[in-house]
Amino acid sequence: MLICENCQINPATVDFTHVENGEVQKLRLCAECAAEKNIHVHGPLSLTDILFGLGDENVEPSTTPDHACPSCHMRRSDFRKTTQLGCPVCYETFAAELAPMFKAMHGDVRHVGKVPRLEQVNVELRLLQRQLDDAVEKQDFEEAARLRDAVREANLTKRADAN
């Protein structure tokens, strides 16, 4: 049986993981210590609730009106329940609410999607080739040699991914 890392007395019943500045901290706490630290173990919250700050009792309730998308008529409250938007216009309609959520989830407010690995290598190859051409033109042969090696490596990766 694991003991609470905070009080060192009671059995640990709560596993709490906290990520801050890329550093992961894991705590095993008893229910009492978890409650003292405002870690609520009952009453599930959705990801959108957490990102919109609804799981934090110290955050004021949203003063944003529950407006609807002019195209599909989805309301902000509907999105909070389903975590899915109704149409492309929703992204514009709820931009103010979505920006902090995208920033928290993706590290940026602009979603660029996923690129297939082979296409990612092709894009990288084109960029490296342009940089290589520029280095040769500037007669920066050290940089050109480094880029030539990078192009070879990317071509090897491309061949391996194709098989």
Q: What is the pLDDT of residue 152?
A: 93
How many CA atoms are closer than 13 Å to the CA of 157, on its beta-carbon side?
A: 15
Contact (Cβ atoms closer than 8 angstroms) between residue 67 and residue 93: yes
CA 114 to chain centre: 13
Give mean pLDDT in consecutive 10-residue pieces for the chain, a chain of 163 residues. Answer: 88 78 79 79 51 45 67 83 82 83 69 71 90 94 94 87 73
How far is 156 from 159, CA to CA, in rounded Å? Answer: 5
Phi first, then psi: give them for residue 113, nearest 5 degrees: 75, -175
Q: What is the pLDDT of residue 94?
A: 83
DSSP letter at 52 equals T
- The amino acid that residue 104 corresponds to is A
Q: What is the pLDDT of residue 139?
A: 95
Contact (Cβ atoms closer than 8 angstroms) between residue 5 and residue 29: yes
Q: What is the pLDDT of residue 132?
A: 94
Q: What is the SS3 assignment for 18? A: strand
